[in-house]
Amino acid sequence: FRQSLSSLWRSLVPLLCWLRAALWLPGTERRQKQQVRKEPDETREEGKEDILLPTTPTSVNYHFTRQCNYRCGFCFHTAKTSFVLPLEEAKRGLLLLKEAGMEKINFSGGEPFIHDRGEYLGKLVKFCKEELRLPSVSIVSNGSLIRERWFRNYGEYLDILAISCDSFDEQVNVLIGRGQGKKNHVENLQKLRTWCRDYRVAFKINSVINRFNVDEDMNEQIKALNPVRWKVFQCLLIEGENTGEDALREAERFVISDEEFEGFLERHKEVSCLVPESNQKMKDSYLILDEYMRFLNCTNGRKDPSKSILDVGVEEAIKFSGFDENMFLKRGGKYVWSKADLKLDW
């Protein structure tokens, strides 16, 4: 009987080994193969996303005119042409940008209020808010040409008005080139602040820190004006705009070091609305459209234009923009930018 059991067991062992090899090992091998295949697939998918996914133009700066009534010595978007797109063509381009994912448009120049006494600008602002339903419409201006009538006509469509103010010393403004006859730039700033409050427009201040204002203390004045944001830029050189043989400005004398810029920021660190932008943060983190609706690539220290979005579309043109989306987010480029969400005490 024992011999019979022993014989039976010897005959079963090879059968069990065969079953183990046939059923368990192939399953293990198959799982290993699946894991090997999955890892390259995941890597390929990640690479595919990096290459194929188009950049979304979430926030766009449209410099629709280069003309200006001021002559700021450090200006990096100078009056090299007098061209302005016909209104309907500009609207067509803005629609293309909205369809590509634009949420915020910022109109700038030059001086955006100089063309057609601000009517052209007002019509674009109204179009973007009323027809395109953009969450945020903003303007950067030197403020010298704005009239209250413009606020009455178009203020309801504007989320943010940013006024350029580099100094609260009028003599320094004159040295910089931000002066016009007997007009006082600082007094005009106070008037614009009042209009923004009356017509429910968020008020913002932009300052370029340079050789003439780097030692100034602006704490008291900025806190009194209480803007939603105080954007503080380091003076930047751009080949062909404010430096180089074919430039209309010579900004070298305005340039400050990184250490001097940090010193200015340290002196104003108690201002809660301060938003600093060094040259490193600023250079490639803006999507800039020129007067022909071409994206301007600043990665090489100059403004190299793409083809116009009106000719090739947004997705094709934006490939040549040099836009650094990570730096855009790092510098706080996306923030609460609709006046409906700011919950300001008007």
Active-site residue flag, 235 = no
| C-alpha torsion 227→231→235→236, nearest 10 | -140
Separation of alpha carbons 209 and 221, rounded Å: 16
Output the DSSP codes for 127-188: IIIIIS--SEEEEEE-STT--HHHHHHHGGG-SEEEEE---SSHHHHHHHT--BTTB-HHHH
Active-site residue flag, 165 = no
Q: Which residue is catalytic, options 75, 128, 165, 298?
A: 75
Query: Is 67:109 a contact under the CB 8 Å cutoff?
Result: yes
Query: Is 84:115 a contact under the CB 8 Å cutoff?
Result: yes
Active-site residue flag, 128 = no
Regarding beta strands 160-164 and 136-141, do their DSSP bridges make them parallel or antiparallel, or are they unpaired?
A: parallel
Residue 326 burial (C-beta neighbours within 10 Å; 0-12, 13-18, 19+)? exposed
Q: Which residue is catalytic, options 72, 128, 165, 235?
A: 72
Q: Which residue is catalytic, options 17, 68, 235, 273?
A: 68
Considering only CA atoms, which of 127, 154, 52, 104 is closest in space to residue 289? 104
Report the catalytic residues: 68, 72, 75
